[in-house]
Structure 1
Amino acid sequence: MELDAVAQGVPLRRGAALPGPPPHSDQPWALADVTELKPGDLLLIGAACSVQFSGDRELRLRLVSVDARPTYHGWVWLAGYVLDAKGLAVDKRELYVQRAGLRVLRAAPVPGRSVRA
């Protein structure tokens, strides 16, 4: 198993992802897999993403794009709009974060699906 190799100091193959802890049913968010992120997702960017977002610097980001350029293992460039407490966009930012720390607050709606009941 790959995690056993990491514990023994053996590097993972290039492009392999380390799994994060599974989300718990009582959590209103889920850990994000960067391959599942899509424009429109609402993300919580906090201390688990990078120390620069700890404490009162935590922010909510409406995702616009995920940069496909290679980065250090486990890190990703995101572009999106920072939302205030009312859900209004107040700033456009590009962020470099650890993908294992991303939390999806609300996934983007699936195109073509009706949201009416």
Structure 2
Amino acid sequence: MTGKMRAGQIIELTTAASVQFMRPIRVRIIRELDWITYDGWVWVDGYELSPTGDARARRELYVRREGVRVVSEPSNPAPTRPIARRPVVRTPLRVG
């Protein structure tokens, strides 16, 4: 993986990323943390995903950038239409 990881990316982590991933996991990235590390290593904040793609747990992971495999890129949100608003009718308050 080259470049900074972006929110929404789904990555797969195996022993190529770190020896802690004997069982490969998939993670949806929240952000890449700007913490000082050894050259080629990075901290990421994300959600570990279940096989169905649901978030299991939020985790901060220390991984070797070269060992990270991007599974999917974040999808762009669909353009939204403005909500039709009803006009506001103001009536004066009657005092007395």
Q: TM-score, normalised by structure 2?
A: 0.75
Percent sequence identity is 38
Structure with greater proportional strand content: 2
Q: What is the aligned length?
A: 79
Matches of 1:90 and 1:82 in 2, distance apart?
A: 6
Superposed CA RMSD in Å reads: 1.5
Question: C-alpha displacement at 1:111, in angstroms?
Answer: 5.5
Shift of 1:33: 1.4
Instruction: Name the CA distance, whole Å, in 2 between partners of 1:81 and 1:33.
Output: 21
Higher helix share goes to which structure?
1
Q: Which runs of 5+ in 2 are unaligned?
A: 80-96
Larger Rg: 2
1:24-80, Cα deviation, whole Å (9 max, x unpaired):
xxxxxxxx2142x200000001110001102xx210000001011221000000010
1:46 has 2:14 as partner: yes
TM superposition shift of 1:109: 1.9
Counterpart amino acid of 2:31? S
* Residue 30 of structure 2 is aligned to residue 64 of structure 1: yes
